[in-house]
Amino acid sequence: MYEWSRLGWKISKRAVIALTVIAWSALIAPKMEAADPLTFFYEFKPLVYSSDEWFVKQDTIIASTDGQHAVGIISQLHHPRGYMNLMQDGEIVLIDTLQPTIAYAPKTNDLLQISGRHGRWIQTYKPIGRNAWVRRPMSNPIFSDDGQHIAYIGEDARHQTIVYDGKVGEPMEKIDANSIRLLSDGKGVAYCASFGPNWRLVINDKIDHDSVAIRNSLVTSKQNAQLAYLAIRDGKWHIIKTNPENNQSLVSKGYMIARQPIHISDDGSTTAVWVQDKPGTWSLAINGKVEPIYDTFNPGPITINHDGSKIVTTSKRDDNQWDLLVNGKLSLTCEAIGQNSLQFTSSNKLIAGVMWHGLWYVYLDGNLGEPATALQPNVFNEHRNGKDFVYAARDSRGQWRLIKLDLQKPKHTPWQSRPYDAIKANSVVVSSNSNTIAFVALFDGMECLIRNDQILAMRKKVSLPSLSPDGKHVAVVASKSDKFELLIDGIPTGEPFLNPIAPGIPYWDSSENTHLVVEQRPHHFSSLHVSIQPTQTDTQFGGK
């Protein structure tokens, strides 16, 4: 009897302990949020698909970022080998072409087609029109931010050339695809091309024959079409700043060596780069002229604000401490500065991740935030609403919290999330009014869709979230067994599908409508459109 009683007591004690653990876990674990009742209407619109007469080449499907269009290469089952057709939005738009190049402009979703037959290549792009006799493309096209201009490398039997807005440039021996830069305001294109053993900078077909260009040094300003690059003349390194409109160039004096990268302000007024004029000492060259106040033996990252009025430099001292200087004046001394964390916000506030006494802090305009054992580099950015700065910080227990700073009220207590196992890279979105924040976190081995710190869904895989324009709804693509489905506010909508097509993020064209291009079933690609409206009863679904 004693043994049974003791065993029974042990079982009861274990049960109490288990219940206590469960209760405590319920207190500290994030809560699942009950979504408001909604009515969903969905439909699949066929875009590219196989049939009895043709089949889709699976790896050629591309989708527009607005989730409403797709194009792909199809081949007829009984057709001469090598020739292909293009299907876009359910229609065959191009017949009997050879090795077509297709791409959507990232923001405008205009379709670029470059097709060839019998040695002739034709480019079709709505903002520019139809251009015959371009060269066969051999690089991916580059689009301007407004989608009005494009450039790529074309080639014939012997030469390479830049094709800019459908116009074929001068023939070159070889062009470095990584060096191509579209100038702002549609002012043309710059790139590096080889002439024998040397590389030269080419701006709108005008070649700098006087210098050997350092081909990966070219930078351009966001406004005013200014550019700068490093070049070697007579064995010396020079900083060359050029205005393509008036062909005026500012060439610095020669230095022993320069250290990439060059930094240029958004308005193009100011450049800065580390140079050596004597062995062992690095100096800062601002617009090509050395400023001795910045001299150091161990130079670090540089950043410039938008109008060039503030230049921030960092340097490592002999005692392994780092100095942060603003316009040459010491602003902070710390133990380390986070890689790529040094930046100016759109409201001209300096921000960086810095280490002090073994802990990491966010440094914002002279003030240090809360301590953390680590900061996550790919969750450290100003949101596009210009009001909030979000970052992920790890606490002493190894868990991560998302923190949102109000840039307009930097001294106010920042918003903090609950602790999670991890924050998914680049997954944070904030509404324009700052009232809603959504992100994807890892918790208990699952990816979780979080809105205002409440879990809406837990799946093995969850895409980057997308907020509706009014910030009231959040959409993601989430795994379901061996398929995927579209979730709105954590609720499954429509039918499961095989795969989302890149970019794979739902797109809201209004606060009630979202779109996504998916592979609905094998070799059938469709646009999934879901519209929503509140309802007074339980969540309802409708589809066709």
**For residue 284, pLDDT beyond 90:** yes
**For residue 486, pLDDT beyond 90:** yes
Domain 426-533, CATH: 2.120.10.30
**For residue 246, pLDDT beyond 90:** no
What mean pLDDT is predicted for residues 217-238? 91
**For residue 325, pLDDT beyond 90:** yes
Model's pTM, two decimal places? 0.85
pLDDT tens digits, 190-213:
999 998 888 999 999 889 888 899
**For residue 16, pLDDT beyond 50:** no
Q: Residue 450 half-sphere exposure, CB side, CA atoms within 13 Å?
A: 29
Mean pLDDT, rounded, of the chain? 88
Radius of gyration (Cα) for the chain, nearest Å?
A: 28
| Tokens describing residue 26 | 């319920």
Q: What residue spans define the domains of the chain?
A: 50-136, 297-419, 426-533
What mean pLDDT is predicted for residues 440-451? 96
Residue 433 carries which DSSP code? T
Phi, then psi, of 84 in degrees rounded to 5 = -135, 165
pLDDT tens digits, 374-423:
999 999 989 877 889 999 999 999 999 999 998 888 777 789 999 999 99
> How much is the pLDDT for 288?
93
Indicate the fold that domain 297-419 takes in CATH: Methylamine Dehydrogenase; Chain H (2.130.10)
> How much is the pLDDT for 7?
29
State the Cα–Cα distance between residues 343 and 213, nearest whole angstrom. Answer: 28
Kindly list the distances between the CA atom of residue 122 and the CA atoms of 70, 80, 99, 377, in Å, as whole numbers in the listed order: 20, 21, 12, 43
Q: Which of 301, 485, 310, 305 is nearest to 377 (CA)?
A: 301
> How much is the pLDDT for 79?
64
What mean pLDDT is predicted for residues 250-272? 93
> How much is the pLDDT for 81?
61
Q: Which of 227, 230, 231, 327 is nearest to 267 (CA)?
A: 227
> How much is the pLDDT for 10?
32
pLDDT tens digits, 40-87:
999 999 999 999 888 998 889 999 999 999 999 998 776 656 678 899
| Tokens describing residue 257 | 């060596």
Lowest mean pLDDT among 23-27, 188-192, 323-327, 408-412: 23-27
> How much is the pLDDT for 250?
85
